[in-house]
Structure 1
Amino acid sequence: MPRGHLEHINITVSDIERSAALLEQLCGWRIRWRGPSMLGGETIHVGDETDYIAVYTKGAALPGRHAKGLPLNHVGLVVDDLDAAEAVVKAAGLEPFNHADYEPGRRFYFFDWDGIEFEMVSYA
């Protein structure tokens, strides 16, 4: 049976610089690649050696926030220091919500500027 792992997630955002900077600060990631998209616009790959999030923009204004679940429910990211991650989210002017502590870890959620929901979780 084949085995796999998640290599990347590609999300459309209104400001790739802002979104890439948030991901770098939240997870200690770096910009792996940046360039034009095959569909037009620009993409930045933010991650580590094994996986990343591709933040993409068409270069034109987006119509606004999507409803939850359209286009996705949330992106889950594991961090080693949940309190530090929450401080980054707050410093970016975003609002953490739905804090929970249950097996297998502590977590909170937040929406970014484009209405994409992130779940931050720590198993430490």
Structure 2
Amino acid sequence: MPAHLEHANFTVSDPAATAEWMCDLFGWHIRWKGDAIAGGHSIHVGTDAHYLALYSPDAPQKAKESSYTTVGGLNHIAVTTDDLDALETRIKARGFVTKNHADYEPGRRFYFHDSDGIEYEVVQYD
């Protein structure tokens, strides 16, 4: 039996603000929020089956290098949609800038960065 990805945990500056735009744009909901084991605060946001754990330590530090050149760095998070164009319109309305549009097998996609510099890929499969 194969394993299934349940969640990913990454650091953001403001878990509540990040969870709010994710719920609005992706149709997700907050599954849990509270104090983190190692200090700081976490919010779990996603679907009933999968989620992202948004963590903020007591004293967050800004990233110093590109995640694409750092071993162990987070390169991007991908979500799928049934209507790429409609979701892109909503993402732009939230003030995010979309880029790197591509149309290749197996679908169309674009990318955007949030206010923490985390890159998101949005894909619509044919």
Common fold: TM-score over 0.5:
yes
User: Which residue of structure 2 aligns with residue 62 of structure 1?
Assistant: 61
Please tell me whether the aligned partners of residues 96 and 110 of structure 1 are also in contact (alpha carbons under 8 angstroms): yes
Q: 1:59/1:88 Cα in 2 relative to 1: closer, same or farther (>3 Å)?
A: farther
User: Which residue of structure 1 aligns with residue 6 of structure 2?
Assistant: 7
Q: Tell me the percent identity.
A: 49
SS in 1 for 2:87: helix
Unaligned 5+ segments in structure 2 are none
Q: Quote the offset at 1:61 in angstroms.
A: 4.4
What is the TM-score of this pair, normalised by structure 1?
A: 0.89
Unaligned 5+ segments in structure 1 are none
Bigger RCO (CA 8 Å, 6+ sep): 1
What is the TM-score of this pair, normalised by structure 2?
A: 0.88
Please tell me whether the aligned partners of residues 66 and 115 of structure 1 are also in contact (alpha carbons under 8 angstroms): no
CA distance in 2, matches of 1:111, 1:65: 16
Aligned length: 123
84, 87, 107: which one aligns with 1:82: 84
User: Which residue of structure 1 aligns with residue 96 of structure 2?
Assistant: 94
- RMSD of aligned alpha carbons: 1.6
